[in-house]
Amino acid sequence: MEKLASAAALIQSRRPEKPVLGLRPQAAGRAARWFIDNFDGDVAYAYKANSSVFLIGALYGAGIRHFDVASLPELEDAATIPGAELHFMHPVKSRSAIRRAYDLGVRSFSLDGLDELTKIVEETTGADGRPARDLKLFVRVAVPAINSLIPLEHKFGIAGAAAADLLVKTRQVAAELGITFHVGSQTTTPDAFVAALQAVRELIGVAGVVVDRIDVGGGYPSRYPNSEPSPLVDFIDAIDAGLEEMPVREDVRVMCEPGRALVAEAESLIVRVDARRGSHLYINDGSYGTLFDAAHLGFVFPARMVSREPEAGEPLTGFELWGPTCDSIDHMPGPFMLPASIRPGDYIEIGNIGAYGRAMAGKFNGYGDYEEVILLDEPQVTMYSEDAAVPARFARG
Ligand SMILES: *Cc1c(COP(=O)(O)O)cnc(C)c1O
């Protein structure tokens, strides 16, 4: 794939017709190394956030060997990664997906109800009628979302007496019993992890079971203009402290499953301005493409003009963006801060769309085709660099 110094260098050399995905594999590698160095346990990448082979390759190169997959197609893809250990952590799976996963060597499954436990046991029972003896089963508990942009608590998870009962029943069939939770995506402070781990500790006490594994899930934040999170090291410290309180901590194997935090910075979108109406810009990608979260979930991404130098002393102005389809919900309210003089024919780099950007893109109205290039410069904002705004506090010890 073509490598360029920056999005500006791309636009200097040619003016692409299609929107362009600018990959920064080095940013994914840096994020993965940070988690591996700082998290005291296995680091699993949540595959659904972005399945670009260039980013998966960078994560793998940095040492990621665990992958959290949520569907059969993801699983079939991830199963081709050499030496990968896959964890099928969607709490509701089809019977055929469970069977196929087990055949592919997957032993980790999550569940949040007795019905799912029955399915897993039945579909992994051998032709000779013997139940599988090597299952690692993670009970997904419901935990409150605190300061999360995308709470997940109402869809999955079990709590209270039902959770204790499910733990006891799962213990009877699992070689290893785990507990997992997800605090919600883009969780900007560690409070949710403190509360979740406290709930897990109480639940273990009520159920009276031996727990072999705790998976603290995903939810670690990235930086966006309208969402400035606590430093990642605060999350690590909160998790360490919560785990210290667990019964027989030294015997519990720990895992985390970041998606967003590993890949958000590793991809940007380069779009052309096709029309301007006041402070509204019409661009050639949108909510049916990589900007779903900007249209529907209130995300604002960093933006910069890359087709020319702004005029001297020119102020930045807030713009709303409209996508290329005929649909009026194809609208990203922003504000996206751009030079006041921006006009049709200019190009914009919209940064940090690596998490759930391309993963969400469809083909509505004939759009949805992208060029891809590798960009060698830094992401517009980062959680990880030595000299970025936040990371002074990152330096541990
Ligand atoms: C989506 C998902 C993740 C990743 O979440 P992020 O917020 O991107 O870190 C982790 N675990 C499970 C079970 C998920 O469904």
Does residue 395 belong to any structural domain of this protein?
no
Q: Measured from the CB, is residue 185 less than 6 Å from ligand 1?
A: yes
Q: Measured from the CB, is residue 358 less than 6 Å from ligand 1?
A: no
Q: Which CATH number characterizes residue 320's domain? A: 2.40.37.10
Residues 79 and 173 in one domain: yes
**pLDDT, tens only, 214-253:** 999 999 999 999 999 999 999 999 999 999 999 888 899 9
Does residue 91 belong to any structural domain of this protein?
yes
Closest CA to 375 of 304, 281, 273, 299: 304
**In the listed set 210, 236, 263, which residue is the last one of a domain according to the structure?**
263
**pLDDT, tens only, 18-30:** 999 999 999 999 9
**pLDDT, tens only, 68-78:** 999 999 999 99
**Whose structure tokens read 């979108």?**
269
Number of domains in the chain: 2
Does residue 342 belong to any structural domain of this protein?
yes
Domain coverage including residue 32: 25-263
Question: Atom 13 in ligand 1: which residue has the minimum CA distance?
Answer: 89
Q: Which of helix, strand or coil describes residue 218? A: coil
Residues 164 and 297 in one domain: no
Q: Which CATH number characterizes residue 29's domain? A: 3.20.20.10
Q: How high does pLDDT run on average in the chain?
A: 95
Q: Indicate the pLDDT class of residue 386, thresholds 50, 70 and 90.
A: low
Q: Which atom of ligand 1 sits closest to the CA of residue 218? A: 9
**In the listed set 225, 241, 263, which residue is the last one of a domain according to the structure?**
263
Judged against a pLDDT cut of 90, whether residue 366 lies above it is answered with no
Which stretches of 143-188 are assigned E, i.e. beta strand? 148-150, 176-180, 185-187
Residues 10 and 47 in one domain: no
Predicted pLDDT of residue 395? 37
Does residue 393 belong to any structural domain of this protein?
no
Contact between 215 and 43 (Cβ < 8 Å): no
Residues 172 and 194 in one domain: yes
Whole-prediction pTM: 0.95
**pLDDT, tens only, 137-156:** 999 999 999 899 888 778 89
Using most ligand atoms within 8 A of CB, pick from 68, 180, 187 the residue to mutate for ligand 1: 68
Task: Judge whether 326 counts as a catalytic residue.
Answer: yes
Does residue 296 belong to any structural domain of this protein?
yes
Residues 132 and 160 in one domain: yes
Residues 81 and 194 in one domain: yes
**In the listed set 263, 280, 312, which residue is the last one of a domain according to the structure?**
263
Predicted pLDDT of residue 154? 81
Strand-strand pairing, 303-305 and 280-283: unpaired
Q: Measured from the CB, is residue 379 less than 6 Å from ligand 1?
A: no
Residues 295 and 238 in one domain: no
Residue 258 Cα to ligand 1 midpoint, Å, equals: 6
Q: Indicate the pLDDT class of residue 396, thresholds 50, 70 and 90.
A: very low
Q: Name the token pair of 321.
A: 């963006």
Judged against a pLDDT cut of 50, whether residue 121 lies above it is answered with yes
Q: Which atom of ligand 1 sits closest to the CA of residue 219? A: 7
Which stretches of 34-74 are assigned E, i.e. beta strand? 42-46, 66-69
Residues above pLDDT 90, as percent of the chain? 91
Residues 286 and 227 in one domain: no
Does residue 388 belong to any structural domain of this protein?
no
Residues 286 and 240 in one domain: no
Residue 182 Cα to ligand 1 midpoint, Å, equals: 7
Residues 131 and 273 in one domain: no
Residues 211 and 290 in one domain: no
Residues 251 and 340 in one domain: no
Question: Count of alpha carbons within 13 Å of 349, Cβ hemisphere only?
Answer: 27
The DSSP string of 333-351 is EEEEEEETT--TT-EEEE-
